[in-house]
Amino acid sequence: MSTDTTLLTRARALWGRLARVPAAFPPAGGVEVVVSPTSELCPAGWVGAVALGDAALVTVPDAHTATVVRDALAHLSVEALVDGVSVRAVLPVAATLGPAALAYVSPGRFRPADAGAPAVERLSAGHAELGRLEESAGDEDAVEAALDEITSPAFVVRRQGRVVAAAGYRAWPSRTAHLSVLTAPAERGRGLARVAGSAAVAHALAAGLLPQWRARPPASRRVAASLGFAELGSQLSMELTADGGRPAYRRHP
């Protein structure tokens, strides 16, 4: 079995488990729609779609929505199913989260930062200096990175004594390490996200975990690629207008 096939199998097992009901990705080219009010593929009450390889898993909150979604998605390819524009053409979408690329790396694919890179220091999760980095980055970037949710140590790079880049990961089901990386706005473009991220990925791999990098911004996706991550799919969450009101937001895995 090739490295990418192994990664794909592990990734699909993870997202099948996050559906919170018995669910699995269908044979190549298929789309499976399942009812799961407690799905972790999306915020509560929303429709969650994850495409990995050439198959997709979709969770919906109730049987009525399942019928609507199955009928609509029958006309879309797996790739279009996680494209916001394509989905809006066939479903009454009020809001979306994503799409976000899902990338994974194995020990054999991993390309760590160069030996001459800036020094990396280890801090405890929740350290006050991480909070100051989040403040400097602004709310939108801080929420996207979610450093406040990591369960691993934080791996940080300093400049003039101040933490300007940090990375860590949150323990997910199926022995998965969900990466979080953040760089201060004034320090971006220096390769610091790659340095901090490399240390976090190395820590996860040493523990036998599957590193997962979920990202929307092109810059973040380029960092993942530079470390050897392979993009295997995408995630899109949708709120349908027919649901009658916007559910309270909760950050989903």
- 189's tokens: 């473009």
Asked if 231 and 79 count as a contact pair (C-beta separation under 8 A), the reply is: no
**Nearest CA-CA partner of 243 in 99, 46, 22, 15:** 46
Question: Digits of tens for pLDDT over the chain (253 positions)?
Answer: 565 889 999 999 999 999 999 999 998 779 999 999 999 999 999 999 999 999 999 999 999 999 999 999 988 999 999 999 999 999 999 999 999 999 999 999 999 998 788 899 999 999 999 999 999 999 998 998 999 999 999 999 999 999 999 999 999 999 999 999 999 999 998 999 999 999 999 999 999 999 999 999 899 999 999 999 999 999 999 999 964 333 333 344 5
SS3 114: coil
Residue type at 27 in one-letter notation: P
Strands (E), the chain: 31-35, 47-52, 55-60, 93-104, 121-123, 154-159, 162-172, 176-183, 210-215, 230-240
**Nearest CA-CA partner of 224 in 187, 184, 169:** 169
Asked if 235 and 87 count as a contact pair (C-beta separation under 8 A), the reply is: no
- 243's tokens: 């649901």
Rounded to whole angstroms, the Cα distance separating 28 from 6 reads: 15
CA 165 to chain CA centroid, nearest Å: 19
Residues 6+ apart with CB under 8 A from 130: 123, 147, 148, 154, 156, 163, 166
Handedness of CA 204, 105, 176, 218 (dihedral sign): positive
Rounded to whole angstroms, the Cα distance separating 166 from 91 reads: 39
Angle at which helices 192-206 and 218-226 cross, to 10°: 50
pLDDT score of 15: 98
Residues 158-176, buried b or exposed e (16+ Cβ, 10 A)?
Answer: eeeeebbbbbbbbebebeb
Q: What are phi and psi of 48, to 5 degrees?
A: -115, 130
Structural domains of the chain, ranges and CATH numbers in brackets: 3-101+232-243 (no CATH), 121-228 (3.40.630.30)
pLDDT score of 51: 97
pTM of the model: 0.91
